[in-house]
Amino acid sequence: MPESDISYNDLVTPSVLKQPIYEPGKPIDLVAREFGLNPDETIKLASNENPLGASPKALAAVKEFLEETYLYPDGGCYVLRQTLSRKYGLASEQFVFGNGSNEVIELIGHAFIQPGDEVVMGEQAFILYKLITLLFQATPVEVPLVDFTHDLKAMREAITDRTKVVFLPSPNNPTGTLNSPDEVVEFAESLPDHVILVVDEAYAEFLESPVDLRPLIEAGRKIICTRTFSKIYGLAGFRIGYGYCSAECAALLNRVREPFNVNSVAQVAANAALGDEDFVEASRRCNDRGLQQLVKFCSDSGLSFVPSVGNFMLVKVGNGAEVFKELQKRGVIVRPMGGYGFSEYLRISIGTQSENERLIAALQSALLLS
């Protein structure tokens, strides 16, 4: 190899060096290796996955499909698109699919976010919005939450002529909080015409009555809603999510995606999962019970928490980084929240009843509660 005075760092697009790195939940095998644990006895309550596993209907469909995987996928996700079109009562051209809803949000960046644009978001909103904004060299305008909840009035006031996109998660991760449907509709209606509202509905299926923005989309408001198969459908590893919006907007998002961005196995799994109502119902019940279990434990032990409508909850434990480590020693992986400025909190994904019991026992021991 010839000597060179030029390194990759000299060549890299300067903004890449400033790009923050997303820290995912730690995988079970990694924690087991680090702490000398048996992976089978280690539990992960760190990434808001479904503790019941994947939708059984999705798994059955995938098993049947595997021999077809020598063919490229249908880049247009035709079958899934038709199923969703029927489910939502929207035209099939109103959907866009991604390798997780994460990718749909990135496609929004590709299509709409340019250097010099401002992107309005909650200060402790899901971190991806900030990462995508910075990736496209735009300016994140972060509006502090009030009572852990998005302050829609302040977000409205933060909008300028340079605002291109507003991100609103409904509910938010990591806080598990929600603005009421009426407030969200009022906010959407108050936005000027040059602003695109992105409503991230990753956890909407856990809600009794999520906000319905389809009438506003149909009325011509610039709104993109995103959803995922990673949460209630239990398909996080397949990586598939989607957005719905006007057909005009979906066509633009489709222009900037890679031709085969969603693999065929994920498409088959997602399509079958949409018909797995029993699983969705069981997942919702499991989550409701788990939230109650964790709320009761926190209340009985005098631990503060942020009431959540998602499949996770913020719990105040003191030194979050330290307790995170102590829990790992006990075979329980949760998520420290220092990156969000909540260094005294842990975000705990809701598990099965027995996983929650393990978490509670580990927390009691780590915090020396009796």
Ligand X SMILES: Cc1ncc(COP(=O)(O)O)c(C=O)c1O
Q: What is the three-class DSSP state of 221?
A: coil
Q: How far is the CB of 80 from ligand X (least distance, A)?
A: 14
Q: How far is the CB of 21 from ligand X (least distance, A)?
A: 16
Q: How far is the CB of 161 from ligand X (least distance, A)?
A: 28
297: exposed, middle or buried (Cβ count in 10 Å: 0-12, 13-18, 19+): buried
Stretch that binds ligand X, among 80-88, 94-102, 150-158, 278-286 (CB under 6 A): 94-102
Stretch that binds ligand X, among 69-77, 97-105, 215-223, 253-261 (CB under 6 A): 97-105
Q: Is 310 or 320 the residue whose CB approaches ligand X more closely?
A: 310
Q: Which helix (H) or strand (E) holds 171?
A: none
Q: Is 177 in the site for ligand X (CB under 6 A)?
A: no
Q: What angle do CA 336, 206, 75 make, to 5 degrees?
A: 90
| Dihedral sign for Cα atoms in the order 250, 255, 259, 262 | negative
Which residue in the block uniquely carries the two structure tokens 């939230």? 291
Q: Mask of contacts with ligand X, 238-277, x by CB under 6 A?
A: ---x------------------------------------
Please list every residue from 22 through 61 that binds ligand X, using CB under 6 A. Answer: 48
Q: Is 211 or 366 the residue whose CB approaches ligand X more closely?
A: 211
Q: How far apart are CA 1 and CA 4, in angstroms?
A: 9
Neighbours of 350 (CB within 10 A): 27
Q: How far apart are CA 225 and CA 245, in angstroms?
A: 6
Q: How far is the CB of 234 from ligand X (least distance, A)?
A: 11
Q: Is 83 in the site for ligand X (CB under 6 A)?
A: no
Concatenating the DSSP letter of every residue in 101-118 gives HHHHHHHHHHHH--TT-E
Q: Is 173 in the site for ligand X (CB under 6 A)?
A: yes
Q: Is 202 or 362 the residue whose CB approaches ligand X more closely?
A: 202
Please list every residue from 125 through 144 that binds ligand X, using CB under 6 A. Answer: 126
Q: Is 94 or 102 the residue whose CB approaches ligand X more closely?
A: 102
Q: Is 222 or 231 the residue whose CB approaches ligand X more closely?
A: 231
Q: How far is the CB of 100 from ligand X (least distance, A)?
A: 3
Q: Is 175 in the site for ligand X (CB under 6 A)?
A: no
Q: How far is the CB of 167 from ligand X (least distance, A)?
A: 9
Q: How far is the CB of 346 from ligand X (least distance, A)?
A: 16
Stretch that binds ligand X, among 61-69, 100-108, 270-278, 356-364 (CB under 6 A): 100-108
Out of 52, 59, 135, 236, name the contact with ligand X by CB under 6 A. 236
For 275-290, letters b (16+ CB in 10 Å) and e give ebeebbeebbebbeeb
Which residue in the block uniquely carries the two structure tokens 């009794």? 208
Out of 230, 283, 311, 328, name the contact with ligand X by CB under 6 A. 230
Q: How far is the CB of 225 from ligand X (least distance, A)?
A: 11
Q: How far is the CB of 232 from ligand X (least distance, A)?
A: 11
Q: Is 105 or 360 the residue whose CB approaches ligand X more closely?
A: 105
Q: How close are the terminal C-alpha atoms of the chain, in Å?
A: 63
Contact status, residue 346 vs residue 334, Cβ threshold 8 Å: yes
Q: Is 101 in the site for ligand X (CB under 6 A)?
A: yes
Out of 55, 83, 149, 228, name the contact with ligand X by CB under 6 A. 228
Q: How far apart are CA 340 and CA 38, in angstroms?
A: 30
Q: How far apart are CA 182 and CA 176, in angstroms?
A: 18
Interface with ligand X (CB under 6 A), residue total 13
Contact status, residue 344 vs residue 316, Cβ threshold 8 Å: yes
Find the Cα–Cα–Cα–Cα dihedral 335, 306, 120, 212, rounded to 10°: 110
Q: Which residues bind ligand X (CB under 6 A)?
A: 48, 100-102, 126, 169, 173, 200, 202, 228, 230, 236, 241
